[in-house]
Structure 1
Amino acid sequence: MLRPITLLSLITLLPLSATAADWQMLVDERTLSVNDNVVELRHHFHSNPELSNQEFDTAKKIAAELTALGFDEVQTGVAGTGVIGILKGSKSGPTVALRADMDALPVTEKTGLPFASKVTTEWRGQETGVMHACGHDAHMAILLGAAEVLAGMRDEIPGTIKFIFQPAEEAEGGADVMVAEGVLQDTGAIFGLHVMPASAGMILYKPEGFMAAADKFEIIVKGTQTHGSMPWRGVDPIAVSAQIVNNLQTIVSRQIDISDAPAVVTIGSINGGNRNNIIPEQVVMTGTIRTLDMAMRADVHERIKRTATLTAESFGATAEVTIPGGTPVTANDPELTAQMAPVLKRAAANGNAHIVKPIMGAEDFSFFANEIPALFFGLGVAAEGKDSGAPNHSPYFYVNDKALSHGVNAMSSLALEWLYSQTE
């Protein structure tokens, strides 16, 4: 049963060194003091969502907040619409990074909240709503809360903290572009979080593969067009595609050892033909691949190509398979995860921080984690008294504002704990 969350539950009784106790108490106190502003920021971002690579007003708001906090440097236009804030402590030391993503989704909100999004846009030729259905509004508000907490603690900071507000996590041109532009230069470690429909204030994490690699794929099946009444005069790409779909399912169920790591192969769309009595020339299928092991990822890619092409060939058709570069596995550095586990436990509601099974959703935070030691964790944001809620990307996705303070405390504490560990 979920115990009621109070902001006082941030302060737990885990043992701390004298130095850590000093700054941790200050983090706890300042987290309490900035909470109302964090909630207000979250509501603002939620009411004013912007799609990937279009986060112009969002970026302006973030830059203004960081400037008002007296940051040493605020960079805009990074990877298009991203924002970087640099906060230098009064003590010399290394640099650590904290990251939040900024973009919303083409989803029409159905939560009925007083601050629900009313923004609409045209998406792929159709009018749709725009909603922070994945909780990036909470991520930004939490990171700005941590910025406010830490900006008031410069005397306690032995080094530099880099605040990364990343565009386009839901599309292309996000973390990978930021990495290419050098955002991690001279940075020793990075931390990030993602809100999830779990008990409010719970923290979920896992060493090594925490979230899956995600790869899109496209299969173009080409046959020979003919009249629907005379299928023997052509090669039916629809029938061929049906066999390819069936055969693809055996990759996970019969061909790979899923006791090593789970995998998913899903066909998400099939398009072919425009009339009931014409067998078309081609069918286009698209899908997603989810894996948690890099060797298995490469193996699954090859099996998809082989299965599609050979199945098509057996019917006298052809299949062209395209698998462009996707999002790698989000892997947490094992040593860093072990080091920071007590910090996560202190920040979680009632110490409720747990190692969990891997999540088959994907996150482009993985591009940062491929470069430097990283820790990415989940923060539960379900409604009061609930252990779960509507999933991310749902029009009913809900964020419990009472969980935000646990995220602020965790992000602030992780940065300080890492900096102190490097200077001891």
Structure 2
Amino acid sequence: MKKIFLIGFSLMALNALAQKSDLRPLVSKKADAIEQKVIAWRRDFHEHPELGNTEVRTAGIIAKHLESLGIKVTTGVAKTGVVGVLKGGKPGPVVALRADMDGLPVTERVDIPFASKVKTQYNGQEVGVMHACGHDSHVAILMGVAEVLASMQKDIQGTVKFIFQPAEEGVPAGDEGGAALMIKEGVLENPKVDVIFGLHINSQTEVGEVTYRPGGTMAAVNDMKITVTGRQAHGAYPWSSIDPVVISAQIINNLQTIVSRNLNVTENPGVVTIGAINGGVRSNIIPEKVEMLGTVRNFSKEDEAMFIERIKTIAIKTAEAGGATAEVKIPYSNHYPVTFNNIALTEKMLPSMQSTAGKEHVKLKPPVTGAEDFSFFQEKVPGLFVFLGGMPKGKDPLKAPSHHTPDFYLDESGFVLGVKLLSNLTLDYMAMKK
């Protein structure tokens, strides 16, 4: 059976290679020609980051660039999003390409000339703002793709929809934004999208490398809030209390048994993390209430349902055992589905990735327990989300600063491969559909 599958896959790969776009050499030439322009865009965005749903400056630069290329532009989508539509000279499918625009409430520590000095208010605190996840590079790369493809518009066999998305990192509780709001406002319609491609830079993958995974590639995420209510008392007389601090500690420990005892770890990974716990105001008062915030990660709908049920049962019953009550809100403020790469699409586009980056530089990767709201697009249309190397060559991935940290750093020499990759995925997919 395995041999038959491999033969079938090889035939599919050969067929896909035979249907490559003949515009590839031109894509490579044009991408190389604008490499420094892409880097300059990225540096500008990096120096002037904006948090989710406030990407006004970023959106303005994007819209102006797309309009200069003759691309039809819509602004204000999902608050600050920008959508460009490039209709090719020949009929064919509609391919969407997505880049996220928002920065993070992180104070930059990297010693570079274009380091962010931006400050803003976030959750009632003054914070630094930094592109600590590489969204600035995603925007610059997609702007480069737009310039490359617009220059060969008459030869394009279909329509390209450029989606510049705000608020991928999430929005405050009660607010809307990101991919879900763009979809709600019709970003996948008029014209109707057939397929969507996206990429994410990775600071711990060497430049020149592309990694991918068919099926579940990034986790579904639910955040949660657990409120434990007991009885307040003087710290000197704990027997007069129902102590929510002790009960919360028991809940935290008991939650870890979900992964160790309820999850089939041979099939999919999973994570339960309590990231914040707040209760009490001074050392000698046992408080009435403790609040915990956490995150849950899964790779299947079945595991997600199991985790939610077990979290509620463990929190509520542990609290009851101590004489307290527990209220569990999950999701509390956000939920992202599994970032699921359509398996047939991934197999079909693998030769395109390999011929762009070199077969030896395209590698299968393990699941990632981080989450991505690109997953909302993939729930509606077939999608492929891949990772692009951004770590300097020869550096130890274990020592390279990770995403969402003050020391996050990217080697800009990898950006041009991103331009070529998204351009070729678009044109090769169209060639397969002619």
Give 1:126 shift: 2.5
Q: Specify the alignment match of 1:119 in structure 2.
A: 118
Separation in 2, partners of 1:156, 1:18: 18
Q: Does 1:251 align with 2:281?
A: no
Is the alpha carbon distance of 1:343 and 1:156 closer, same or farther for their aligned partners in structure 2, counting shifts above 3 Å?
A: same
In the alignment, is the contact (CA less than 8 A) between 1:199 and 1:387 conserved in 2?
Answer: no
In the alignment, is the contact (CA less than 8 A) between 1:87 and 1:151 conserved in 2?
Answer: yes
Structure 1 counterpart of 2:273, one-letter code: T
Structure 1 counterpart of 2:197, one-letter code: F
Give 1:308 shift: 0.3
Give 1:69 shift: 1.1
Separation in 1, partners of 2:241, 2:339: 46
5+ residue gaps, structure 2, are 1-13, 172-176
Give 1:157 shift: 0.5
Separation in 1, partners of 2:358, 2:117: 32
TM-score by length of 1: 0.94
In the alignment, is the contact (CA less than 8 A) between 1:74 and 1:83 conserved in 2?
Answer: yes
1:21-420 matches, within 5 Å, as 22-71=22-71, 73-172=72-171, 173-185=177-189, 186-197=192-203, 198-324=205-331, 326-348=335-357, 351-388=360-397, 389-420=400-431
Give 1:345 shift: 1.5
Separation in 2, partners of 1:169, 1:16: 32
Separation in 1, partners of 2:342, 2:20: 22
SS at 1:28's partner residue?
helix
SS at 2:196's partner residue?
strand
Residue-pair matches, total: 409
Give 1:181 shift: 0.9
Is the alpha carbon distance of 1:252 and 1:91 closer, same or farther for their aligned partners in structure 2, counting shifts above 3 Å?
A: same
Residue-by-residue CA offset, 1:97-156 (whole Å, 9 max, x unaligned)? 000000000111011111111111122232221100000000000000100110111122
Percent of residue pairs identical: 51
Residue-by-residue CA offset, 1:15-65 (whole Å, 9 max, x unaligned)? 986873621111111111111111111111111100000000100000001
Cα RMSD, aligned residues only = 1.5
Structure 2 counterpart of 1:413, one-letter code: N
Separation in 1, partners of 2:218, 2:22: 34
SS at 1:335's partner residue?
helix
SS at 1:370's partner residue?
helix
In the alignment, is the contact (CA less than 8 A) between 2:16 and 2:432 conserved in 1?
Answer: no
Structure 1 counterpart of 2:120, one-letter code: T
Instruction: After the TM superposition, list the runs of 4 or more consecutive aligned residues in structure 1 that deviate by more than 3 angstroms.
Output: 14-21
In the alignment, is the contact (CA less than 8 A) between 1:347 and 1:407 conserved in 2?
Answer: no
Give 1:245 shift: 0.5
5+ residue gaps, structure 1, are 1-13
Separation in 2, partners of 1:17, 1:247: 52
Separation in 2, partners of 1:286, 1:18: 52
Residue range with higher mean Cα deviation, 120-129 or 175-184? 120-129
Residue-by-residue CA offset, 1:302-345 (whole Å, 9 max, x unaligned)? 00000000000001000000002500000000000001111111
TM-score by length of 2: 0.92
In the alignment, is the contact (CA less than 8 A) between 1:200 and 1:349 conserved in 2?
Answer: no
Residue-by-residue CA offset, 1:141-190 (whole Å, 9 max, x unaligned)? 00001001101111220110000000000113100001111111211000
Give 1:387 shift: 4.7
Give 1:420 shift: 1.5
In the alignment, is the contact (CA less than 8 A) between 2:230 and 2:288 conserved in 1?
Answer: yes
Structure 1 counterpart of 2:117, one-letter code: K
SS at 2:256's partner residue?
helix
Is the alpha carbon distance of 1:21 and 1:168 closer, same or farther for their aligned partners in structure 2, counting shifts above 3 Å?
A: closer
Separation in 2, partners of 1:378, 1:208: 14
Structure 1 counterpart of 2:73, one-letter code: V
SS at 2:380's partner residue?
coil
Is the alpha carbon distance of 1:15 and 1:299 closer, same or farther for their aligned partners in structure 2, counting shifts above 3 Å?
A: closer
In the alignment, is the contact (CA less than 8 A) between 1:345 and 1:352 conserved in 2?
Answer: yes
In the alignment, is the contact (CA less than 8 A) between 2:53 and 2:80 conserved in 1?
Answer: yes
Separation in 2, partners of 1:214, 1:15: 37
Separation in 1, partners of 2:312, 2:202: 34
In the alignment, is the contact (CA less than 8 A) between 1:383 and 1:398 conserved in 2?
Answer: no
SS at 2:76's partner residue?
strand
Separation in 2, partners of 1:68, 1:351: 38
Residue range with higher mean Cα deviation, 328-337 or 254-263? 254-263
Separation in 2, partners of 1:231, 1:163: 61
Residue-by-residue CA offset, 1:360-403 (whole Å, 9 max, x unaligned)? 00000000000000000011100232252211111111111100
Separation in 2, partners of 1:137, 1:122: 21
In the alignment, is the contact (CA less than 8 A) between 1:349 and 1:406 conserved in 2?
Answer: no
Give 1:267 shift: 0.4
Separation in 2, partners of 1:32, 1:16: 25
SS at 2:335's partner residue?
coil
